[in-house]
């Protein structure tokens, strides 16, 4: 085999061994050559199981990327494709994901993909043709509007972070259709597969993920805060009062206060579940996510901050003690089979108190059975649906086009957020 073919087989083997790709999805990864969609990279780079940024803005923030193959496989599995399906992809990127979909649905199916960046759609169209998938329809336009000319679709997949469910997507789905998208829930993205159930849309699965946010009207009202000299690191402040950028940078560069929770986690995935639970059940805190340039381009202070907050954190701005920021301690994520100590770290004048509070909340998470993303159930109701009609939903999050409900199934969570 040639070097690219060997690397392609190794990637497919890795996905299969991890339980991420089987059947038609595995066959697609073995058939579609990723390196043709990533010109300029050698085979070893093109077939790594990592996301690869293909376009950035002037500040070094990514505008488009080829998604990590593991995440592609997860979402394709969630999409539950079959031969003959008609599929719409929102967010073309390189075109590789559209080619995987086209391979699965076959000649009797159809694939339409849309992206707002003309440079990307032009490049993807050429790459798809070179890889033998020239039948994919590539459209340049606003993905939030979908592509009504080719509707209805059996499946819609969104490959950019969405803050809301665009009504056009739902109306362009055929009866019994399914949509998979990375939906932002208090700043944490969840790849959720929705199907219609009566008068609302219910998730069939949810997986934590991280995608570049959609551009245009679908972008949420998050605040992007520059941390230190630019171009460099940014913090995305979501669903709460945004701290002042200079104060936040000063706090994160300063002393750290550790608050041990007296608990251990079995894996980094379990730590991520705790991070998700804390974020969803502490609605008065602002979620912070770190965003930055390519590795090695940020200064030492930005690099330190990025290492401190790989999962993001929570902030309390304007408290009586001053700005407080807290996050799960990075030391707790060391590799190995030993249990991982759960420690909350605090920054800023109010950081110690906030870290102690979240350490106590971690005990509550433990006591109710450590609910995680695998048990999460999401619902999407029409906007302004009466709260009484939502039943026993744990948390309600309003968006312009939908009223989202979030709860942990199987009786795993008794925590409730405010229904405002």
Orientation of helix 69-79 relative to helix 96-105, angle to 10°: 40
| Mean pLDDT value of segment 309-335 | 81
Question: Are the beta carbons of 124 and 95 closer than 8 angstroms?
Answer: yes
Which residues, 6+ apart, have CB-to-CB distance to 271 below 8 Å?
265, 311, 328, 332, 333, 340, 342
In tens, the pLDDT along 150-196 reads 999 999 999 999 999 999 999 999 999 999 999 999 999 999 999 99
**DSSP class per residue in 72-141:** HHHHHHHHT--TT-EEEEE--TTSHHHHHHHHHH-TTSEEEEEES-HHHHHHHHHHHHHTT-TTSEEEES
Residue 124 is predicted with a pLDDT of 97
Q: What is the pLDDT of residue 412?
A: 38
pLDDT given for residue 333 in this prediction: 45
Averaged over 41-58, what is the pLDDT?
A: 87
Report CA dihedral (372, 363, 255, 333) to the nearest 10 degrees: -40
**CA-based torsion, 228, 231, 233, 235: positive or negative:** positive
pLDDT digits (tens, 9 = 90+) for 214-251: 876 667 788 889 998 887 888 999 988 999 999 999 99
Mean pLDDT for the chain overall: 89
Helix axes 96-105, 23-31, angle to 10 degrees: 130
Q: What is the reported pTM?
A: 0.90
Residues 345 and 269 sit within 8 Å (Cβ to Cβ): no
Which of the two residues, 143 and 291, has the higher pLDDT score?
Answer: 143
Query: Which residues are known catalytic residues?
Result: 64
Residues 81/24, Cβ–Cβ less than 8 Å? yes
């Amino acid at each position: 085999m040639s070097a690219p073919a060997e690397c392609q087989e190794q990637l497919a083997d890795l996905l299969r061994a991890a339980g991420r790709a089987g059947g038609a999805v595995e066959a697609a990864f073995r058939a579609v050559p990723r390196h043709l969609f990533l010109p300029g990279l050698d085979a070893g780079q093109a077939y790594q199981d990592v996301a690869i940024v293909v376009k950035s803005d002037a500040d070094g923030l990514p505008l488009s990327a080829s998604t990590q193959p593991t995440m592609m496989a997860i979402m394709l599995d969630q999409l539950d494709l079959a031969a003959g399906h008609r599929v719409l992809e929102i967010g073309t990127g390189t075109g590789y994901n559209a080619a995987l979909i086209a391979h699965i649905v076959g000649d009797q199916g159809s694939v339409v993909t849309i992206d707002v960046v003309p440079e990307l759609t032009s490049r993807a169209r050429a790459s798809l043709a070179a890889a033998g998938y020239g039948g994919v329809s590539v459209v340049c336009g606003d993905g939030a509007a979908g592509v009504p000319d080719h509707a209805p679709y059996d499946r819609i997949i969104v490959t950019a972070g969405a803050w809301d469910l665009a009504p056009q997507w739902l109306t362009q789905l055929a009866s019994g259709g399914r949509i998979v998208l990375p939906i932002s829930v208090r700043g944490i993205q969840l790849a959720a597969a929705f199907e219609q159930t009566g008068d609302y849309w219910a998730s069939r699965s949810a997986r934590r993920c991280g995608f570049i946010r959609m551009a245009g009207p679908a972008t949420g009202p998050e605040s992007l805060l520059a941390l230190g000299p630019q171009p460099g690191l940014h913090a995305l402040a979501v669903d709460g009062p945004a701290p002042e950028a200079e104060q936040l940078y000063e706090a994160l560069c300063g002393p750290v206060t550790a608050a041990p929770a007296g608990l251990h986690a079995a894996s980094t995935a379990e730590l991520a579940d705790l991070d998700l639970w804390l974020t969803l059940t502490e609605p008065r805190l602002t979620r912070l996510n770190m965003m930055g340039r390519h590795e090695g381009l940020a200064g030492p202070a930005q690099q330190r901050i990025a290492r401190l907050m790989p999962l993001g954190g929570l902030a309390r701005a304007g408290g009586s003690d001053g700005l407080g920021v807290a996050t799960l301690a990075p030391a707790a994520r060391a590799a190995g089979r030993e249990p991982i100590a759960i420690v909350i770290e605090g920054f800023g004048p109010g950081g110690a108190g906030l870290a102690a509070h979240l350490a106590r909340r971690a005990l509550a998470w433990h006591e109710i059975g450590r609910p995680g993303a695998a048990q999460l159930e999401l619902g999407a109701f029409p906007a302004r649906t009466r709260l009484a009609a939502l039943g026993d939903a744990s948390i309600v999050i309003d968006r312009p086009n939908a009223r989202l409900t979030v709860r942990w199934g199987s009786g795993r969570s008794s925590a409730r957020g405010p229904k405002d």
